[in-house]
Structure 1
Amino acid sequence: SRSEADERNLHPCLFEVPEMEKRTPGSSSQALKADPPKTTLFKKEQKGINYRIPALMYIKDAQTFLAFAEKRTSSSDHDATLLFMRRGTRQNGSIQ
């Protein structure tokens, strides 16, 4: 099952990075002092190109986030043309 932190990080086309020093193991219910910054990873393009079905994976050993989304020529499921991936690593409390 996903934790509350995972739920906050799985917004469609958004990537949220909670401040890690405000959490301790087993304290997922602790409130953050401020809303974490948001970055749009997959934006709708001109000519009807959009991204759907986003997914986020965290690889703990490498402190790496992988974000995936299907590139589509319309909002229809059969129009998925490519699977896009963006990668970020945790450095100095933020994702680069």
Structure 2
Amino acid sequence: MQGKSKTLRGMTWKHDRGLAPLLATAKHFCKEHSDLTIEWEARSLQEFGEGTVQVLADNYDLVIIDHPYMGQVAQKQCFLPLDEHFTPVQLHELERGPPAS
């Protein structure tokens, strides 16, 4: 078996509604893309408020944030536009999400 070539690190909020769907999606996605591993970490909403989006962007490949941070994201340009890094086919696959269980 060949080793994984890339690990993506993600951060989300510490709640089943925030973490559980991402774990399930990552598991499905990595089955289809054996060259990737996705590792999710979680922090409390309070911990999110204590840091900056820029620090998260510097330390994680994938970040789930709440809308109040979008002004900071736009001002600092700390996130990359997905359409500049994924093909249209890949973006469509991401939009579809995981299959129904």
The TM-score with structure 1 as length reference comes to: 0.26
Point out the structure with the larger strand share: 1
More helix by share: 2
Name the structure, 1 or 2, with higher relative contact order (CA <8 Å, separation 6+). 2
Q: What is the TM-score when the length of structure 2 is the normalising length?
A: 0.26
